Amino acid sequence: MSYRATPPRQGLYDPRNEHDACGVGFVADIKGRKSHRIIDQGLSLLDRLTHRGAVGADPKAGDGAGILLQIPDGFFRAVLPFELPKVGDYAVGMLFLPQNDAAREEMESIVERYIEGEGQRILGWRVVPVNNAGLGESVRPTEPAIRQVFIGRGEACPDQDAFERKLFVIRKQIAFEVYKSKIPDHSFYAVSFSSRVLTYKGMLLAGQVGEYYPDLLDERVVSALALVHQRFSTNTFPTWDLAHPFRMIAHNGEINTLRGNINWMVARRGSMASEVLGEDLGKIWPLTYEGQSDSASFDNALELLVMGGYSLVHAMMMMIPEAWSGNPLMDSKRRAFYEYHAALMEPWDGPAAVAFTDGRQIGATLDRNGLRPARYLITDDDLVVMASEMGVLDIPEERIIKKWRLQPGKMFLIDMEQGRIIDDAELKEQLATAKPYQAWLNETQIYLDHLPTVVGAMSPDPDTLRDSQQAFGYTQEDLKFLLTPMVLTGQEGTGSMGADNPPSVLSRRSKHLSTYFKQNFAQVTNPPIDPIREEIVMSLVSLIGPRPNLLGLNDGGPDMRLEVKQPVLTNTDLERIRDIEDSTQGAFRTKTLTICYPVEQGAAGMEAALEALCHQAEKAVREDYNILILSDRKMDADHVAIPALLATSAVHHYLIRKGLRTESGLVVETGAALEVHHFAVLAGYGAEAVNPYIAFDTVQSLLSQLPEDLSPDEAQRRYIKAIGKGLKKVMSKMGISTYQSYCGAQIFDAVGLATPFVDKYFTGTASMVEGAGLLHIAEETLRWHKNAYGDNLIYLKHLDVGGDYAYRLRGEDHAWTPHTIAKIQHAARGNDWNSYQEFARAINEQDERLLTFRGLFEFNWADQPVPLEEVEPAKEIVKRFATGAMSFGSISWEAHTTLAIAMNRI
């Protein structure tokens, strides 16, 4: 069996959702003095983090634990039968290999081939001694063969940094070769592959690491640092390779924007160039693989940045920036640093405490919200201990000279070559002043607000507005319950929880494509972000246009960037972007692509129209248009619009596959965006900004019906404010703070869409329930178009009633109708059995009409009843009833009281 025991995608499980929440810590000597004491203290610290891990049904099966240390040169010279070059001129690769002899030999030959092919020397191999007596029964079948390969630095590598880069390139090539190989047991994982650090880890309990690896108990194994980690895999399967530490980090938290981060890293491949990696840059792809956890993917991206020339701290500040856009107290140079790098890389957002090291420096940083704990202390003999909590080592109080905690967005670093601690302020001042970031911004950054106004907004045409509204699925409820509260209050209307209408795939009515997508929420993020009180850490700033070379370190680059304060564009804003070429002396070129096609082509014509749209987008980018506007303004009686969400995602993913996505920005001009969820889904699938022109026209048409006298500009401003507040709310429940991180992050599950349709147009999205494909979506779109431009008298003067939020004749179906509510009230108040029977009959008939997924199921009756003597007595069954997991915050006092009474009675 492979050590990679993650099962394939099945049911509701998807290996793409690998996350973990864990215990992390390190021990380090500030002066860089190596000793075995550091290893012992690291293992003790790890043992004290046991409570932060998880144990399966097998009490000896953990989620994973490990330790990273500096290469113990003296130890290896003592135990190896071959000579080693001087320190820094050799590397150690710690490898997980197959237990099968033939497969392992094949893996070893691949490793040797790439090492020698890149001009480095094989010094020898070592079988890593292990003691697996303490492994759980469920762990042993997945235990890998563990080997160390020793690599000598070749002449082509002038120094140790160049050697590290070459090792990185070798390891990535080996991994890809193994990944694509047809070897039956192709298990391979490079735990570490470095001339500076070495990692021992596995699917172990915290207290088993030293026991399993006898090397760690040898007094000759010395290090000036020990980075440890105890994994708690949330919603995931523990595996040997997903244990921490990784090559540069140990991480406690979640990267909630992972899918988008990975997509953007793939998209950057075509536009990336590196002075230090040179032609080797083309050998490292793919950067990440399916099935990796969020932490593993983060580590891969961090490695790329460091190997591409960034310092370790610089790279960490790019990936986990502190809150800067809403902080008026931040130094201008530091603000310029963050603003400049915002165009290079979107934040890897989510709650995180990350410890990082390259073997020379070790440090830690916290996410901008401070949603994970990290505390540290310094002793009088220059020892630093950092961990998820205090008390992990028994250190007398009189020896402690400082105790403190990491604060949101802050970091600290121990530079063992300099022999000192560098605090957050000094670190960031050094980096912020290292390059003229403000000057580079002045040369490359353009602000939408500073562009000239070309044309004013047009007044809505009442003769065509209703047709347009109907063609995009507007209803009377949308105007009453959604738009009107936004205009009056500047925020979404308040509604009660619960929905008794059918999922979109089961509805008999045409539904907005976005309703097939359900927003995810971070189930491990605790506490959630408060988008109102923590507004300073949130940002709706969006950058439109090409993304600069990620590895271009030494200048601002040739690419200009357009910054907008928030992603909802007014009609005037959009016209500014359309005419941006003249106002920016050709720095930006905009191409408008219509997403409409002739209605006579019917539903079958949508696929060809999508294909043509993607080809037009590719052609435009290759012709140096760096802003694409996807527009459905040409929708009329003769032309039907492809759903804007479908068009946006199709173009976004098509350009990613072509390696062109970072060459151009995507702006969507659509009448289909009305409520917050519409904007959130468009953002999630790549829209950097959205112009909801029909929503603006509708807002203006409502002014005469409002109780408050508002100007069109004020009404529009309030609507935009409401959408912005709603977007922050949506992002915050996923633990995401910035629109840039949310854009392209695909934080949704598809419910009721066919997998082939999702895989092609919404690549990477989980589809839990099968259902509608492209043809069905096209038919729903055409049905709306027919309502608008057909001859149905119902829609001639009035919008559809809707019926999603309240029961309406000719509206959406509901489980709770006036009839069912009346019957249950009569049954309860009058103790009327007949009324209850009528209520039950009505509810059961609704199941037959498929208002819920539950209605799709039928009981699978057994042919023979279970003998009564085999049925467990009720008094035994009730012993397993429990309510302890229900927190007081999740249910009311009344509910708690009722549950307590019930539990006492049984």
Count of other CB atoms within 10 angstroms of residue 210: 22
With respect to residue 812, please indicate whether it lies within any of the assigned structural domains. Answer: no
Length of the chain: 906
Cα R_g (the chain), whole angstroms:
30
With respect to residue 442, please indicate whether it lies within any of the assigned structural domains. Answer: no
pLDDT tens sequence across 472-485: 999 999 999 999 99
With respect to residue 445, please indicate whether it lies within any of the assigned structural domains. Answer: no
Please name which of 632, 638, 650, 674 lies closest in space to residue 473, comparing C-alpha atoms.
674
Q: What is the CATH number of the domain that holds 399?
A: 3.60.20.10
pLDDT tens sequence across 779-802: 999 999 999 998 888 888 889 999
Provide the domain limits for residue 517: 450-456+465-492+504-795
With respect to residue 20, please indicate whether it lies within any of the assigned structural domains. Answer: yes
Phi, psi torsion values for 725, nearest 5 degrees: -65, -40
Do 511 and 603 belong to one domain? yes
Q: How confident is the model at residue 463 (pLDDT cuts 50, 70, 90)?
A: confident
DSSP 577-640: HHTHHHHTTTS--EEEEE-EEEGGGTTTHHHHHHHHHHHHHHHHHHTT--EEEEE-TT-BTTEE
pLDDT tens sequence across 641-676: 999 999 999 999 999 999 999 999 999 999 999 999
With respect to residue 138, please indicate whether it lies within any of the assigned structural domains. Answer: yes
Do 303 and 216 belong to one domain? yes
- What does the alpha-carbon distance between residue 505 and residue 751 come to, in Å, rounded to a whole number? 8
Do 115 and 159 belong to one domain? yes
pLDDT of residue 183 exceeding 80, the answer is no
Do 479 and 424 belong to one domain? no
- Residues 877, 880, 882, CA angle at the centre, nearest 5°? 135
With respect to residue 315, please indicate whether it lies within any of the assigned structural domains. Answer: yes
Do 391 and 476 belong to one domain? no
Phi, psi torsion values for 513, nearest 5 degrees: -55, -35
Do 760 and 862 belong to one domain? no
DSSP letter at 358 equals -
Q: How confident is the model at residue 340 (pLDDT cuts 50, 70, 90)?
A: very high
The residue type found at 777 is: I
pLDDT tens sequence across 505-537: 999 999 999 999 999 887 655 556 788 888 888
The structural domain count of the chain equals 3
Do 837 and 714 belong to one domain? no
- What does the alpha-carbon distance between residue 495 and residue 482 come to, in Å, rounded to a whole number? 10
Token couple for 502: 């059918």
Average pLDDT, the chain: 91
With respect to residue 26, please indicate whether it lies within any of the assigned structural domains. Answer: yes
- What does the alpha-carbon distance between residue 474 and residue 702 come to, in Å, rounded to a whole number? 14
Please name which of 67, 303, 262, 68 lies closest in space to residue 172, comparing C-alpha atoms.
303
Is the Cβ–Cβ distance between 526 and 759 less than 8 Å? no
pLDDT tens sequence across 353-405: 999 999 999 999 999 988 889 999 999 999 999 998 888 999 999 999 999 99
pLDDT of residue 1 exceeding 50, the answer is no
Do 340 and 483 belong to one domain? no
Q: What is the CATH number of the domain that holds 536?
A: 3.20.20.70
Q: How confident is the model at residue 58 (pLDDT cuts 50, 70, 90)?
A: low
What Cα–Cα distance (Å) separates residue 596 from each residue in 471, 618, 646, 656?
A: 12, 18, 12, 23
- Of the residues 22, 596, 614, 743, only one is catalytic, namely 22
From 739, 763, 795, give the residue that closes a domain: 795
The H helix count followed by the E strand count for the chain is 28, 30
With respect to residue 5, please indicate whether it lies within any of the assigned structural domains. Answer: no
Q: What pLDDT is stored for residue 526 in this prediction?
A: 54
CB environment 803-825: b (16+ within 10 A), e (fewer): bbbebbeebbbbbeeeebeebbe
Do 430 and 471 belong to one domain? no
The mean pLDDT value for 817-835 works out to: 92
Half-sphere exposure of 566 (CA within 13 A, CB side): 17
Element (H, E) at 319: helix 312-319
Do 537 and 426 belong to one domain? no
Label the pairing between strands 627-631 and 590-594.
parallel
Catalytic (active site) residue 22:
yes
pLDDT tens sequence across 730-758: 999 888 999 999 999 999 999 999 999 99
Do 729 and 871 belong to one domain? no
Do 611 and 720 belong to one domain? yes
Least confident of 117-126, 665-674, 858-867: 858-867
